[in-house]
Amino acid sequence: MGALPIAEFVSSASSASDSDRSAASDEDCLVDDGDGDLVADSRLVSSVRALLQGLGEDLSRNGLIKTPSRVANAFLSATKGYGLSAEQTIGGALFAEAGPGNGKGGGCGGMVVVRNIELFSTCESCLLPFKLCCHIAYIPSEQRVVGLSKLPRVAEIFAARLQSPDRLANEIGGALWDGFKPLGVAVVGETWHLECPRELRSSREPASWIRRSVCARKGSFEDDDRGSEDWQEFVAMLQLSGSSQLSVTKKPAICPLLAGDAAAERSSSSHPNFETMVEAVVTLLRALGEDPTREELKLTPSRYVRWLLASTHGSRLSRDLILGNGVAAVEQDGDHHATMVAVLDLPFCSQCEHHLLPFSGVAHVGVLPAKNHPSSHPRASRAILEKIVKLYSCRLQVQERLTRQIADAVMSSTAASGVMVVVEAGHVCMISRGVKKTGSTTGTLATMGDFAVHGKKRAEFLQMIATANSSK
């Protein structure tokens, strides 16, 4: 799998209805219940409806009924920071604290560091979420210290806007610098942006996260002739907690969808609903209070639509075209184990149909030989299983249905008497919104034929997965 499993992420996503946005106080907890019953500006909801219709979805389908309001709500949540004031947040929490008679410390000099503030933000280039784990340091001056909880609170305010990682770090640092005039402020962040579905680029890598470090330095943390002692001490303070291996380097922008702009310009999307969907995203940005003509946002609608189309293209493919009509008579290249073929770790990236956010992971497929071909080995090549997994994952899905559909398709496409499918996945929506189950992953299991009735076979297959996982 990729650099960092989705499930390692934490969220600080936020929520608010449009009407209470301006009234939000700094005591608002940036938390979203994610159930979609709140909300919303009708322009937002109808924009999401237009996107789903553009994808060819049936909006009356059970799983999609609440999706427009839920997704609209999520976009509001992700941009709640526009209605919150960092100045107010800081201003109400300044305290006088004496410094030492001789030296630095307390409210005069010394250093205050808050580490490992974990946040989710939204990439302004593509509207996908990115994660930030940031560390903030400041040097108090003139006996002013700020309530410690206000540092993450200020970070949350700027994360709950459309952002790039660099700007996010700069805005957090700038707000603290302006807010209580310390001698110096530094913000360091590790950011992770969701990788593109593989159709958007040529690589065969599964979905993963792109990692990059950013920093913002002000006042005494800025480089001087001696390289800023404050900065060096901040880095040392981070290393004390083992919280960061700092590797702040100047790299190109983190958003992987930027890389597809040139190709998209050359080929422009052939999808008949592309322009309508782009218009829907433009409307959505306006409804969020954004200016879609702002330079950084000009191509965002088309990137978001490209991502939506690419990550759901399986729903527009013919199953027969992909899998053929008959039984797949293909050579075995799975791991042969007694009478069972197990093909493990088939990577996928799918889209949660409730939140329009990705879930990704691996599918494991176990196949038992057909009873009427007792002498033959069961046949299930990795290639055909990859096709099946891709066909059913590249669409709006729920993990339970994905697992069942893979099992169904394998059963009907191979000479098998039993099929068992285990899907292990991390859901962005589980960690960035709603229940916010940090570190959780989801496993689902489907069995057909002999697997459904023989517990021993199921245990054998699960053991094979466990053994393979433990050797990674």
276 φ, ψ (degrees, to nearest 5): -60, -40
Please tell me the distance from the alpha carbon of residue 215 to that of residue 193, in angstroms, as a whole number.
16
We find the least distance from the C-beta atom of residue 336 to Zn ion, in angstroms, to be: 37
We find the least distance from the C-beta atom of residue 400 to Zn ion, in angstroms, to be: 12
Q: Is the dihedral of CA 256, 259, 261, 264 positive or negative?
A: negative
We find the least distance from the C-beta atom of residue 126 to Zn ion, in angstroms, to be: 3
* Contact between 176 and Zn ion per CB under 5 A: no
Residues 14-53, one symbol each (x = binds Zn ion by CB under 5 A, - = not), give: ----------------------------------------
We find the least distance from the C-beta atom of residue 39 to Zn ion, in angstroms, to be: 16
* Choice from 200, 349, 429, 445 touching Zn ion (CB under 5 A): 429
Please tell me the distance from the alpha carbon of residue 137 to that of residue 159, in angstroms, as a whole number.
18
* Contact between 125 and Zn ion per CB under 5 A: yes
Please tell me the distance from the alpha carbon of residue 52 to that of residue 351, in angstroms, as a whole number.
12
CA atoms within 13 A on the CB side of 5: 14
* Contact between 354 and Zn ion per CB under 5 A: yes
Q: Which amino acid, 450?
A: D
Residue 122: C-alpha distances to residues 80, 89, 97, 188, 266 (Å): 11, 22, 37, 18, 27
Determine the interface stretch with Zn ion among 220-228, 247-255, 280-288, 293-301 (rule: CB under 5 A): 247-255
* Contact between 355 and Zn ion per CB under 5 A: yes
Question: Two tokens at 400?
Answer: 């339970």
Determine the interface stretch with Zn ion among 115-123, 238-246, 366-374, 404-412 (rule: CB under 5 A): 115-123
Of residues 271 and 354, the one with the C-beta less far from Zn ion: 354
DSSP sequence for 350-401: EEETTTTEEEEEEEEEEEEE-TT-TTSPP---HHHHHHHHHHHHSSEE-HHH
Pairing type for strands 112-123 and 162-163 reads: parallel
We find the least distance from the C-beta atom of residue 456 to Zn ion, in angstroms, to be: 35
Please tell me the distance from the alpha carbon of residue 108 to that of residue 128, in angstroms, as a whole number.
41
- Residue 40, preceding bond cis, omega within 30 degrees? yes
Please tell me the distance from the alpha carbon of residue 137 to that of residue 228, in angstroms, as a whole number.
14
We find the least distance from the C-beta atom of residue 205 to Zn ion, in angstroms, to be: 17
We find the least distance from the C-beta atom of residue 436 to Zn ion, in angstroms, to be: 12
Q: Which amino acid, 141?
A: S
Determine the interface stretch with Zn ion among 167-175, 199-207, 249-257, 360-368 (rule: CB under 5 A): 249-257
Of residues 126 and 406, the one with the C-beta less far from Zn ion: 126
* Choice from 123, 207, 216, 280 touching Zn ion (CB under 5 A): 123
We find the least distance from the C-beta atom of residue 26 to Zn ion, in angstroms, to be: 28
Of residues 171 and 460, the one with the C-beta less far from Zn ion: 171
We find the least distance from the C-beta atom of residue 132 to Zn ion, in angstroms, to be: 13
Give the residue among 101, 48, 104, 98 at the shortest CA–CA distance from 73.
48
Determine the interface stretch with Zn ion among 253-261, 365-373, 375-383, 448-456 (rule: CB under 5 A): 253-261
Size of site (CB under 5 A) for Zn ion: 8
* Choice from 352, 370, 385, 421 touching Zn ion (CB under 5 A): 352
Determine the interface stretch with Zn ion among 22-30, 65-73, 125-133, 379-387 (rule: CB under 5 A): 125-133
* Contact between 402 and Zn ion per CB under 5 A: no
Of residues 255 and 385, the one with the C-beta less far from Zn ion: 255
* Contact between 126 and Zn ion per CB under 5 A: yes
Determine the interface stretch with Zn ion among 16-24, 318-326, 425-433, 457-465 (rule: CB under 5 A): 425-433
Neighbours of 115 (CB within 10 A): 17
We find the least distance from the C-beta atom of residue 123 to Zn ion, in angstroms, to be: 3
Burial of 144 from C-beta contacts in 10 A (0-12 / 13-18 / 19+): middle
We find the least distance from the C-beta atom of residue 128 to Zn ion, in angstroms, to be: 5
Of residues 359 and 461, the one with the C-beta less far from Zn ion: 359
Of residues 264 and 330, the one with the C-beta less far from Zn ion: 264
Q: How many helices (H) and strands (E) does the chain have?
A: 16, 13
Determine the interface stretch with Zn ion among 35-43, 222-230, 237-245, 427-435 (rule: CB under 5 A): 427-435
Please tell me the distance from the alpha carbon of residue 399 to that of residue 66, in angstroms, as a whole number.
18
CB 289 within 8 A of CB 82: yes
* Choice from 50, 157, 183, 255 touching Zn ion (CB under 5 A): 255
Of residues 198 and 458, the one with the C-beta less far from Zn ion: 198
Please tell me the distance from the alpha carbon of residue 312 to that of residue 350, in angstroms, as a whole number.
8
Give the residue among 236, 239, 30, 246 at the shortest CA–CA distance from 152.
30
Of residues 28 and 353, the one with the C-beta less far from Zn ion: 353
Largest CA distance in the chain: 91
Determine the interface stretch with Zn ion among 79-87, 140-148, 270-278, 350-358 (rule: CB under 5 A): 350-358
Residues within the interface to Zn ion (CB under 5 A): 123, 125-126, 255, 352, 354-355, 429
